[in-house]
Amino acid sequence: MEILAYGVESYERPLLRKAFDGRYELRCLDVNLDEDTVVLANGHEIVLTNVNAKADAEVLRRLAAGGTRLLTQRSTGFNNIDLDAASRHGITVMRVSHYSPYAVAEFAWALVQAVNRHLPRAVVRTRDFDFRLDGLLGRDMHGRTVGVVGTGRIGEAFARIAHGHGCPLIGWDLVENPACRELGMEYAELPDLLSRSDLVSLHVPLTPDTHHLIDAAALDAMREDALLVNTSRGGLVDTFALVAALRRGMLGGVALDVYEEEEHFFYRDLSNRRVTDDVLARLMTYPNVLVTSHQAFFTEEAIDAILGTTLRNVDDFLAGRTTENTLTR
């Protein structure tokens, strides 16, 4: 049986083949699953996808018609998959329910310090032998109030880092995390958290309820010099509203590892092309905005966990087992 893997990056291909070696025959594609590429899955019972796949109702219907019975995603997020349609068409959907929370949490804090201390600007300057300090003034993070939006595994790990830097913590989540309470975290409603925090870091999944959680009203509620960091999903932030807020001189800094329309840009070399996304291009013009290409997860430990779990998902499906990674049966 040949398994088809969509959206396999160059770095991922040898690792994925190594993980599956001797167990299953694997065919890797560099294109993502969507309405144009779904035909390539015909005859494949098992399909692997990534977070940039577009598994809507029509794509899932065509997958089922082509014989696909398992769709397993190599990520935690699954907002790109129509689970109701998958159930209707008899497709089991699985994911990687968790991997190293430290990968994302540590990267989020790295972004905090990078944008706070203007590190990208400083590096560019010194490479040109410009050693002035003008425009590089940052702030101590010690004693700054940190708002953690989403206090699950990653949010908790981020809170521990912030706590270690002497930061008072405010949290927002549907369910309180006792471990965060032990750190001294105070839970509050989101508008209260936004208005009181010097730093707001987003760690919630993207759902219909959290789409544009940070909209114009939320941005207006934030402190004028606050830092905003998003390492979760691009759709949590209304990017048009964010650009408008930056234009008005709001926010001390913004660090984004994710972007609403990232599937058109991230993981590609577009250095010799014109970028037609006016919002992304405008974001890049602000000196207090840092954008990275969805790399917070990218550590050896996290990749090992993601690929290992994906392999186990295939084993579990073929054995008829339901696990914490199973989203539909």
**Dihedral of alpha carbons 285, 238, 248, 218, sign:** negative
For residue 211, the Cα-to-chain-centroid distance in whole angstroms is 13
pLDDT at 208 over 90: yes
Superfamily grouping for domain 101-291: NAD(P)-binding Rossmann-like Domain (3.40.50.720)
Confidence class of residue 265 from pLDDT cuts 50, 70 and 90? confident
Domain ranges of the chain: 2-99+301-328, 101-291
Strands 92-94 and 326-328: antiparallel
Mean pLDDT, to the nearest integer, of 219-225?
Answer: 97
Residue 307 contacts by C-beta under 8 Å, 6 or more apart in sequence?
15, 16, 19, 74
What angle do the packed helices 101-116 and 300-318 form, to 10 degrees?
Answer: 150
Give the fold, CATH level 3, of 2-99+301-328.
Rossmann fold (3.40.50)
Structure tokens at 245: 């807020």
Per-residue pLDDT of 51-110, as tens digits, reads 889 999 999 999 999 999 999 999 988 989 999 999 999 999 999 998 999 999 999 999
Q: Identical fold at 2-99+301-328 and 101-291?
A: yes
Phi, psi of 244 (to 5 degrees): -65, -40
What is the rounded average pLDDT for all residues in the chain?
A: 95
Structure tokens at 114: 């990078």
Catalytic site positions: 233, 262
pLDDT at 273 over 90: no
Amino acid 250: pLDDT: 96
245: amino acid identity, one letter: A
pLDDT at 271 over 90: no
The answer to whether the pTM exceeds 0.95 is no
> From CA 84, how far away is CA 90, in angstroms rounded?
10
Mean pLDDT, to the nearest integer, of 255-260?
Answer: 96
Are residues 79 and 235 in contact, defined by beta-carbon separation less than 8 angstroms? yes
Are residues 120 and 114 in contact, defined by beta-carbon separation less than 8 angstroms? yes
Per-residue pLDDT of 15-56, as tens digits, reads 998 888 878 999 999 999 999 999 999 999 999 999 889 999
